[in-house]
Each structure stands twice: as C-alpha cells, then as structure tokens.
Structure 1
Amino acid sequence: MASLTKEIASSSSSSVPFSSTDHPNHYKYEVFLSFRGEDTRHNFIDHFRSALCDKGIETFIDDKLRRGEEIPAALVKAIEESRVSIIVFSPNYASSRWCLDELVKILECRKSKGQEVRSVFYKVDPSDVRHQRGAFGKAFATLDQHKHKDSMEKWKAALTEAANLSGWPFKDGEYEAKFIKKIIGELSTQVVNPSCDLHVTEHPIGIKSFSEEVCKLLRVEENSVHMVGIWGPGGIGKTTIAKAVFNSIRHRFACSCFLAEVRSNSNDLAKLQKGLLVDILGDSTLEVSSVDQGVSFIKTRMRKQKVLIVLDDVNHSSQLQKLVPYPGCFGPGSRVLITTRDKRWLIAHQVDEVYQVKMLKDHQALNLFSLNAFKSNAPPGEYLKLSQRAVRYAQGLPLALIVLGSHLFRRSIEEWEAILDSSRREDPHIEIRDVLKISYDALGADLKGYFLDIACFFKGWHVENAKPRLDACYDLKSVNGIARLQEKALIRIDDDIIWMHDLIEEMGKDTVHQESPDELGERSRLWSEDDVNYVLTNTTGTNKVIGIQVLTSNISLNAKSFSTMKKLKYISIIPIIYYESFWRNIDYLSDELRWLEWPHCPLQCFPADFHAKKLVNLNIHRSSIITHLWEGYKSFPLLTYMNLSGCESDRIVIHQRGETR
C-alpha cells in the first residue's frame, strides 16, 4: 500500500510555535537543564535527570564547565543546540551570576530560534522570582551590585520574563517522584520531542475539518471518560484522521498511546497489551505473560491516569474487551479513540459517539488527485478531462485518488487512457481492491453471499425488491444481512435504495471473476448479457453457478442450457427475450432453486423431474406458450409467492396445500 504519511508538528496554546524550518535533527539535545548546584544537584536534579534519561530524552547537564569568569563557549553552544531549556528556580538560584547569565542566553534563544523554555519553581514562589523578593530576593541581593551593575537590570528583566512563562511549582511536602513524573509526561507529549508526533499525510486534503469534527465528539474539556469510534470503508482515511486528532490533543494528557494495526497483530493480544502498558506507564521492563494478566494490568494500573488511547483498525469485539475493557479502567478525563470498518463492534462496546467518515467532495478529490499525479494543485489543461475521469472512478475515496494519481505520475496521455480503460490487471486497480477486500474477507459465508449478490445483482435496487430474493436464497434473514453489511461500511441505504461505492462493487465482481478467470461457467454468479449468453448457448455451466440474472434482451437457449448447473438457486430473466432456434423445452432445472423469475417464459412445460422443494418464488407471468407446469403433482412446502397471470392454459391447476400440476 502506498505510503500516505509525512511528519507534522503540533504545538500547545501555552508553548512557543516552532519555526517552519525546525526539524528534529536540528538539535543535539532535547533538554538543557539550568539549575543551582548547591540547592538541587544531589537530590532533585539527580532524580530529574535519571527520569529524563529513562524516558529516552537526550539531556545536557553542566557537570564540568563552570570555570573562570565567563560562560564557556561550549555551554553557550549547548544552550543553542537544545530543543527545550528547563530552568530550575531554587532558593539560591539568583545568587549565581552563572545561572543568571545562562538564563539571559536561554531567553535570547527563545526569541531568536523559537526554542521552548519552561520553569520549575523548586521550593520558591513564582511571584518571588518575578519580583525578586522573599528568600529568592535575598539570594539575588547577595550579588555584588557594584561589580555587576551593567548586568543587574538585564538579570531582573530575565527573571521576570521567565517567571511569567508556563511552569511547574513544587512546594515543601510534595513527593518529588510524583512531581517529576508529571513533568516528564507533559514534556514527552507537549514540548520536548515533537518528532514523536505521528506521520499523518503528505497532502492533508479535508483532514483538518474531519479531525475537528472528531475532536468535538471527544469533548476533551469534560472530566468524564469518553470513547469515540471512527467508522468507514477501507481507504477512506480513518487512520489518517485518527493520527491528526492524536497529534492535536495528546499534549492535554499525562500519557498517550497510538496502537496501530490492531487487526494485523490481533493474533498476539498480549503483545498489544504490553505496547499499550509500556507507552502509558513508561516502564519498558514490564512483561505481560498472558492476555488475562494484561487485562488485569490495564484494569488496575491505569485507573488514576488521564490517558489518550487510539486503537487503530479494530476488527473484533475481543480486541476492545482486552485492550480498553470499560471506561472505569482509566482516570477522569481520559479519551479512547477507535477506528474500524465494522460499526457493530463500536455499538457492542457502547462507545459514546460514532463518527462516519465522508468521501471527499469533488473539488477536494481533484485537488488530492492532482497533487499526486502532477505535484500541483490542479491538472494541466491537456490532462483535465482524463483527470476528471479518474476522479469519477475514485468517487471521493482518498486511497484510490492517491494510488491512482501516483501511478499516473509522469505518464503520457496514451498511458493514462490505457490504465483508466483497464479494470483488472493494472497495478493501481489491484492495490485499491486489495485494501477494500479486507472487509469482504472478514465476512461469514452467508454474508459473503449477500455481499456478492448485491454487488453483482442488486446494487441500485429498492430494499423491498432485493430483500425477498435474499431471504429466499439464504438462511440468514435479509434484515440482518443488510444491517451487517451497512455496519461494515460495504453498503449504504439511501431513500430505500441499496447504494454501494463503485470501487466496492468492482471489488465484489472481481472476486467472482477471480473464482475462474478463464472459464465463465466456473463462476458463482452470471450477470452480463455476453457471459450469460455464452454459458447457456454452450452449456458450460457447472455446479459452481448459483445465480443468473439477465436484465438485457438478447440471450440464446437450448434444451441443455441448465443441465450442468446442479446448485443453481436463483434465476431472474426479466426482459422479453428473443430465443433463436429454441424448441420450447429444457431437460433440467436444479432442485436447489429458491427463486425462479421468468416472465414471458418460452417453455411449454418445466422438466418432469423438477422437484424444487426449496422453491420460494415462482413468477412466470405472461408466459402464454406454457401449456402446463409439469407432469403429475409436485409439492413445494416453502412456496410463498406464485404469479401465473397471463398464462392462459386451462391445464394449470393450483391446490391450496402447495401442490401444482
């Protein structure tokens, strides 16, 4: 599958935005620590530095450079090469001109390079730092004001500016470990390492509005635990939206985890649980020996954590039960976001909201396609009509627009026409269908039959016309089957019409085609005039054929046409057909028939050995040639509908107990 990703950066309302040229590799260190050694070196700073290292955050700490009168060039360089500077204000911080000069340099880099600066107020009040009063002010007053008279105003301004920045106050009586953990959590998700933001997409067409809609459903401001699902067919951008949402709000949470490709890794749920727990708890040594143990850890060790969890590509309820068992597992304000192709799992897990992803609008689709096909916002004039054709083919599905556009990049008009004319063997078509087919592969046998029947026969039909046909052919009632296919985003009902994306329809028909690429009679369903005509004329149908539907008016027929189709369940030959050289009789009809719809039927009589005890519908109205249905009495216990209007023979007799002759 083509890569859809590119790094983006996020920033919080309380942080300074990074410059447009900022890049993770621009900095040597992620954190520069400024502190007064005699106050904090052997307690707070030692613990803080260890916690940063455990989290994998590259940190500069001055252990050996404090010599002479001026800040060494190496220290200045370290400040310039750090992504974030953290100033630890302690009671004696302001008594050191080294610390104050560091502070001035740090604030200069904040202005010139857009670097992040955060303050820790360790056993001092921020207002005392701001106004140089109290114990902090007394330490500042110990400086030789005559010797440093040229720096005093500069230092005072720096202290005031730094104290006004976002920071973390620590008071006597607090637990340092808990305080440090809070800082590490916020640094990790908010300011220290934006390279941890997830890759989203190279061309985020429509993503901003979609992600904003999801954020509204998440209600991040509320303090309750909230679960939201993102639902839609394959290739519509569920994962891309989830990544954008994750990047935009993760700084509001103490811990976060984006668990990718849950479906693909569901054979090892314990591994997924470990990934979730390690990300949230920050303990890389944690071991999960079994799924049950993992569930226990999740239930007991996250209850006080405000977390953001994304489960991407969920395809079964067991994954939700084992990874996010219920809201009470997580601390107040936590959010769980789930992406899936199957709405049923979201409903079963009682999520609070479900967001259905919409197809791109026409102008957005053309924009996205052009960016991939031409690396520009719009197609060149000579390619405009072909581009519009490609966009119509994709019908707003981002995956199709990206894959097809990328495949057509730098190709001639002749190559474009050949690729757009092909329907099965060109690489982009196969790649798109492979993604869409994942949803089909997850269906049970009856649902697969439902889906293929709709793709091949019933797309665009009124639900009430398609339902009795489906009910007749399957044990699963259509009201359930249609609902399940809707939940899996494979079909949609609009104004009582069954709607299916053209690419999903194409995937279904190709699934039937791949049953036997070369032999038409080896396929389960026949719907095109040419294919039906070939199989019936040449008697090449086999036991694989279960459904035939003809909506056009030219087919051939002979006595042996149906003789090799022993498992045929569905026949619908609706138009008035011209039958060339037909002798008004056929030798065989399958006893598996459930639905026989053949108005203007050219037969004089059905085969004598036709014992279709599974027949539900018999419709042969206006079949004026028929003289009798069959020889003798036949019993059809499941027959619920029969239409013989316009059949004029007086030899057709119908008995109330389901017997006809």
Structure 2
Amino acid sequence: MEFASSSLSSSSSSFLTSEPHFIHDVFINFGGEEIGRRFVSHLHSVLLQAQVKTFISQENLHDGMKLEEHMRAIGHTKITIIVFSKSYTESACCLLELEKIIECHETFGQIVLPVFYEIDPLDVRHQKDDFGKALEDTAYRTYSGEQLQHARSRWSSALNRVAGMTGWDDRDFRYDAELVERIVSRVNTLLDYKDLFITEYPVGLESRVEDVIKCIENQSTKVCMIGIWGMGGSGKTTIAKAIYNRIYREFIGKSFIENIRYEGYVALQENLLSDVLKSNLKVKTDGRGRTMIENGFSRKKLLIVLDDVNHIGQFENLCGSLEWFGQGTVIIITTRDISLLNQFSDNYVYKMDLLNENESLELFSWHAFREAKPRKERSELARNVVVYCEGLPLALQFLGSCLCDRRIEVWESVLLKLQRIPPNEQLLNVLKISFDNLRDTEKDIFLDVCCFFIGKEKDYVTEILNGCGLHADIGITVLIERGLIKVERNNKLQMCSLLQDMGREITCQECPEKPGKRSRLWMQGDVKYVLKENTGTEAILSLKLDSSIRDCFEAHAFKEMQRLRLLQLDHVQLSGDCEHISKQLRWICWRGFPYKCIPKNFHLENVIAMDLKHKSSSTRLETTTLETIPDFRAVKIP
C-alpha cells in the first residue's frame, strides 16, 4: 500500500498533547498477508481468549481505516507487539507505525515487545540483504527529495533500536503455539489485571474514594502526588486500595507497597522495581536502587501507592524526585504523620474523616451480626459499644468480630471493659480486647506472626508453628476470621500496622525494665543489650536481630535461653561454642551465616525449617549439609 508524500506530515506528527487514555491493551504491528493469516491470526486469537483487548493494524486497514486513526490507536495502547518478518519493510504502513511506536515508548513508556519470525534479528538491526533492499524500495516509493533521506534515516534508526530490545526469536521454539503461549504469558504478566482485596463490608467508602479520584483527574496533566492522612485504623489503607482498583488499568505499570514502615530501603526498592518492571532485580545498596528506579521508570506513566509511610527517607529512596516519572503518574502516600506530607509543596492532602453514627452502627453490625442493622434484642448494647469506638473503622471491625456469635454475658463484659478505658488509651486498648479474648495458643501465634512472620508464606508459617505445638492450622484460621491477620497475594501473611504495634507493645509490657525476661525479643537495642550483658532467661521463646555492621556476640549469651524456638539473625557473628543455642529450636533463619558448614555441636535435631545463607555467597548452603540431622523436615523457604 502506497501513500502520497503530501499526506504524511499530519499522520506521523504527535497527537499526544496530554497523557494517554488507554483504550487497548495490545497493538500488533506486522506486515504481509501470509504472516497475518498464519502466526498473527493465531496470536490474536489467543490474546482475545485471554481477555486481552487487542488491536491488529493490518486487519483494520483492509476495512478502510485511515492511517491517522492507526496512529491514534497506537497512542492509546499499553503494549505493542512488533512482528518482524522478511516482508515487514515492504510496507510503508508498518514503518510509519513503527515511528509512532517509538514516539509513544519515549513519551509515556509504552512497552515494546519484538518478535522475529522467520528472520534473523541481525538482519533487522542492520537492515541486511533483502530486508534492507525492501526498506530502500519502500522509501523511494513513498518519499522523494529531502524527505526520502530523512525517512530512510528515521526508519533505519527505529529498526535498529527495536531489534536491540528484549523479545523472541521463533527459532528458539519448536512450534508457533509454544511461541504464542510465551508471548501471551508475558503480556498477562505485564498487564497484571488483579484487583486488591479491599474489605468485605465497604461502608462509607464510595463517596470518600470519589473525592480523591476527582482530585487526581484535575491534576492529570502532570505527576500527581496525593497524601492520605489520618489516625491509625481510620481506613487509609482501605481507601488507597479502593482507589488503586478503580484506576490501575490506566497506567503502564503499578505498585502497591503495604506497611512499608517495617521494611528496609533495599527491600522496598526491590519490591517496587519488581512490581513495575515485572523482573526480579537485585539491589545492592539503596543508592544503587535509586539509580535503578530513576533509569527504569523514566517517562513511564505509573501508579505507585506507598502505604503507612512514617519517614521521609522511605519516600526519597522510592520516589526521590517527581522528575523520575512520566506525565500522568500518580503517587499516593498514606501516613499518620501530617508533618511528613507538609514537606511536599505540590501535593493534595486528603484527611480521613471518621465514620458518622449511622455508618459506624452499620459497619459494626456487619461484623457482629452479618447484617446491616443490629438485632433487636442487642440493639442497645450494640449502640453503646459503637459509642466507644468513636467512628474508628478498625475498632468497629475488631469489636464486631470479637462479639460475633458470643453470649450476651460476653457482650456485657466487653462493655464494662470499654467503660474503664481512659480516653487517651482508647484505641490500642479497644483493639487489645480482641486479643484478650483469644485462647493462649492463638495469642502465641498472633505474637509470633507480628514479630517474625509478616510477609512469610502461610503454609510455611503453619508448619513451623505446628512444630512448636501451637495447632496453627486452627489458630491461624481463627485469627483470619477475627480479622487479626490476613492473607495477601502469593498466600503471604500480613497484618494491619496498628495491630502489629499492639502486638509488639504487648511483648514489651511483659517485663518493661528487663527485656531478658520477655517472651519475644525483636527491638534491636533490647536484643543487643541482652546478648552483650548476658541477661537472657528461659522466658525468651523467639529472638530476632538484624545487624548492618556485622556485630559479633558470644554464643554463651544464649545459654540460659533454653526454651528458644524461633531464631532470626541477619549478618550476626557468634564466637564460642554453638552448643549453647537451645535444643528446642524449630526455625532458624540466618542470613550472612558465618560458617561454611553447620557446626557439629549446633543442636538442630528439632528444627523444622531453616534458611541459612553464607556471608560470601548468594546461594543457601547445600542440602547435603543437612543430611546428618535426625528427622529433619525440609520446608520450602518462601
């Protein structure tokens, strides 16, 4: 198909005066009727079966669609698949579309996936042999004069650039079906159309979500930063998830990082890079991570949600400068600290309003009665309980779950406890009532999860805690039903940060003045004090220590911790005899393990799962080092 040179200028010029609105998921660019009937039709069919909204260039041109409309379609697409074949450069249409694809890639980060079908990638990159000759012929057929030289140069540059991108060579696959399956799998991974679970009972949520989305729409021509501020338990995470679910399909890449206050900068950077780029990149230092984010996210239109930010360094190491991102990017921060948001001059702050009386009663009723209104015989009790929650969604949720299907005497007892709580201690103590109503084994499971197992796979944790005699199969189910823990993506355990604060505070209050007499040690200062001063006791069941400076302690400091069952050490060195470490260990996680093999006097006969990574290697110790351990059960390390 030929085009008159006078008609090309408006077709190939940019129409992107603002950030794009995506209509299509995938645009397939290819040339040649034969390849269209065979490979491309097969690819198109499988994409449609996978519910991927796909636009095929050649097919629509036969229907009389104008080139300008093709260009517009490319600009409204997240991913382009370019199928290079021997006949590709015979089509001026293909090459003009290729120019637009490169423009969109540079403008808003459109994802480009090249496929080399029955042609060598080097022929495309350097326009060799018949492929290059066809390019010359098409340029002569389409342009003349100075335009001819410019077109050849532009097309050659575009072909060279795309040929250097990561894609697929059909020679690497036995059948077309295998290649198609690989392409569609990658497309689905990049699109990642999976809604986050919000809440079973979204009372009062819709109007609040609309308020924030209106603000985002008003700032769509630039990088938009939204702060959601409110007290713990007010629903900041819930509204952020609801907004994310409503708008994430409008972005090239997205990431929702929950509870970031408990993660180190490097781990957060790896999480963000993985979410957006869909590849497992390792970050060595936070400085290197900032560079990788800046380079990897440049020009891309992204949606990033940072949940529960409590320090400016978290933002600086993940989103250091708004110039890192493409036009139309939306960054949402939830925080309890308004002073943190005040450090950003160009942002919108949404204050979380607590629920009104009617909303509070409805939310409580859903959790307590599984109905929108309280049952008549307990209506007065329900209203009295709601008064003490003061419109705080988290408190309403947990008290409702705590009282669900309980006798009226339990309701009256809880109400009496609420009446004794001082106003300045209301929130954590209201939540603690849910904890107090658990069985002892369920309390132990809750405290172990909040101190050691956030982000770990549910089945992995269940196996370990079962080995500790805690009946975790039942206990974790109870905690999930009570809303005290939750299972997120990839079957991993998570917990509201406020509940984690409560659980950790409970362990600290076991013996405020003497950390060596607490059941769980996780605060770094307390752990180092106990190990250096040798004040550990048999009360300690679990211990966690992260060391950024490779601290060294005497193994003898563990001698009195005879009931220690969970041990997590990161880059910690021990001197002395490892036999002092408890024989009751069920789980040991030791990154930067200082030994090349497991010491013979290291008591591991009761260990259920271990994660040992040598300090000089990125790989864990070979399983052959475990063969001498009697009855050792290897559990998959998440």
Q: Same fold (TM over 0.5)?
A: no
Instruction: Pick the structure with more helix per residue.
Output: 2
Q: TM-score w.r.t. structure 2 length?
A: 0.44
Larger radius of gyration: 1
Q: TM-score w.r.t. structure 1 length?
A: 0.42
